[in-house]
Amino acid sequence: MKDYLVKALAYGGYVRAYAVNATETVSEAQRRHGTWHTASAALGRSLVGGLLLGATLKGEDTLTVKIQGDGPAGAIIVDSNAKGDVKGYIQNPKVSLPLNEKGKLDVRGAVGTNGVFTVIKDLGLKEPFSGQTPIVSGELGEDFTYYLAISEQIPSAVGLSVLVNPDETIKTAGGFMLQVMPGASDEVIAGLEERLKNLPNVSSLLEEGKTPEDILDIIFEGDSIMILEDAPVRFHCECSKEKFSTAIITLGTSEIQAMIEEDHGAEAVCSFCGNKYHFDEDELQGLIDEITGDKK
């Protein structure tokens, strides 16, 4: 089954609902970064959360989620956009903690319980929008929920989950996000709260072969939902050798000269996807020539 995200309306349009199967997306991140199971779950949940927030964007808008906790995983950075592309990395990919008291991957132990949760949105305006909340849980679903409630004033529920196989590969990954729209009646909010008492574990439902549409049906238990669209999602990084050339040029001629003389070349590694770009001495000299205007 390919990864995709479903957008729907429930409760007569007063609740926006999103569900996503991101198993392949998170699998690719796991392979690219070589994450160990607890780090895989922390990065995977963050990627799923990024996709769900990204689903609320339009056109060319993009967003970045930065989770800086005090746990051994260090910072987690995720970029997503309105087209269903997501990329991300975790500062320390080699985190493997014992399971927590519930027998689950200890994401809170990896992320930590103190720190800052930041979302930066580039909506094509002069200044990007930036919102910040403290980390309240470290399990990440609750942190996305808290961010939406406090920073964007949208009462929401976010469920993020990742199942990891014994060989460190990803079994399933996915999530859902429900948002209450302004003007929703007390009955709608009370009804939704009742539903949220028994939130399904998305990765287990995906393991049973359930689709994102099925997951929304299970959450709303037969209440009619209106599917608006489904759209593919994927791990995607737009880095290129050209982009890294531009970055090297900004270092200046003496720095590049040092790379030629001391290292006889340079290697740039994209932190988002792990792709490596090698620059030999001739290519570095070409960049110096570009700076000095001495184009051949």
Supply the minimum distance, in Å, between the C-beta of residue 234 and Zn ion. Answer: 13
Contact set for Zn ion, span 201-260 (CB under 5 A) = 237, 239
Supply the minimum distance, in Å, between the C-beta of residue 271 and Zn ion. Answer: 8
CB nearer to Zn ion: pick between 26 and 270: 270
Supply the minimum distance, in Å, between the C-beta of residue 89 and Zn ion. Answer: 9
Counting residues that bind Zn ion (by CB under 5 A) gives 6
CB nearer to Zn ion: pick between 241 and 264: 241
Evaluate whether 11 touches 158 at the Cβ level (below 8 Å).
no
Evaluate whether 97 touches 164 at the Cβ level (below 8 Å).
no
CB nearer to Zn ion: pick between 122 and 281: 122
Rg (CA), the chain: 21
Evaluate whether 8 touches 225 at the Cβ level (below 8 Å).
yes
Evaluate whether 43 touches 33 at the Cβ level (below 8 Å).
yes
Supply the minimum distance, in Å, between the C-beta of residue 273 and Zn ion. Answer: 3
User: Which strands sit side by side in the sheet containing 234-235, from one edge to the other?
Assistant: 129-134, 115-122, 62-69, 75-81, 85-90, 234-235
**Which DSSP letter does residue 259 get?**
I
- Among 144, 146, 235, 272, indicate the residue that binds Zn ion (CB under 5 A): 272
Evaluate whether 178 touches 19 at the Cβ level (below 8 Å).
no
Supply the minimum distance, in Å, between the C-beta of residue 169 and Zn ion. Answer: 21
- Among 273, 284, 287, 288, indicate the residue that binds Zn ion (CB under 5 A): 273
CB nearer to Zn ion: pick between 258 and 269: 269
Residues binding Zn ion (CB under 5 A): 237, 239, 270, 272-273, 275
